[in-house]
Amino acid sequence: MASERLYLVKNEAGEEMGPADQDALVIWAKDGKITPGCKVRSTLIPQWEAAGGVDFLKPFILAQQEAAVRKKQNSIVNIIKRRIFLRAEDIMADSGLVKVRMESYPRANLLVRYMAGLTDTVIMALLAAGIAYLCTLLFQHGVFGKEQIFYVGFGLFWVLCLLYFTLSIAYRTQTLGQRYWGIFLIKQDGQSFWVGRAFFYTIFMIPLGIFSALFALTSENKLSAQEYLTGTRMVKLKLISKKQR
């Protein structure tokens, strides 16, 4: 029909296709000839628009973008990297214009995290004092010699320390210190996790925890080193009022 609107398409190389009607453009989009990098304009209006902004092309462009993202995430290299670093996939809902997390917990600020860490440090200090007292009794009763007692106490402390952090995070998502300050640890996709990830989080936290502020302030995603390496994030509890409205 002479009155039907016609369109021109310009690909990323600057080559133009058309003029063609709406049905033809839809077919080109289905066939992959029109991609997210293409531009479209009406023959009546000398102004180019991104293909994803054209209403009748948007579903096909979004499908191409989603397929490209999934292909990248499911590549062998990315799968191996996620397995090596125990990084969870950061699940997003993509509208083509903005990205929104499927599970949006408020991030725990650095002050609260450090206060929780200080509380757990006090707990570990009490544990160390208890082990020191026990080792003193064992030494006095001749169970262990002078050279052995230090290694026994040192080994016992680190075993109990690893068990405390690993099991409390794995099965309760938080240590006693974190519970007191109202924060807990989750995967980056908003889900809980099991012992393996909690163990490696603890292993990385022991040497790197003191540098959490430096990593969080300098990294783009505001994660500490142990969070980045294990695909986790520290968040605040959601407080829900029970008052009837």
Q: What is the pLDDT along the chain (245 residues), one digit of tens a residue?
A: 445 788 888 887 778 887 888 888 888 888 878 887 788 888 888 888 887 778 788 878 877 777 776 666 566 666 565 555 544 444 443 433 334 344 456 778 888 888 888 999 999 999 999 999 999 998 888 888 878 888 888 999 999 999 999 888 888 778 898 888 888 888 876 666 778 888 888 888 888 877 777 777 777 777 888 888 888 888 887 544 444 43
SS3 221: coil
List CB contacts of 212: < 8 A, sequence separation 6 or more. 110, 113, 114, 117, 224, 225, 226
- How many CA atoms lie less than 13 Å away from 90 in the CB half-sphere? 13
C-alpha span between 41 and 159 (Å, rounded): 67
- Measured distance CA(195)–CA(172) in Å, rounded: 11
- Rounded-to-integer distance, Cα 66 and Cα 74, Å: 12
φ and ψ of 202, to 5 deg: -65, -45
- Is residue 227 a contact partner of residue 234, using CB atoms and an 8 Å limit? yes
Which pTM value belongs to this model? 0.53
- The tokens of 225 are what? 């080193």
Can you name the residues that pair with 235 across neighbouring β-strands?
107, 184
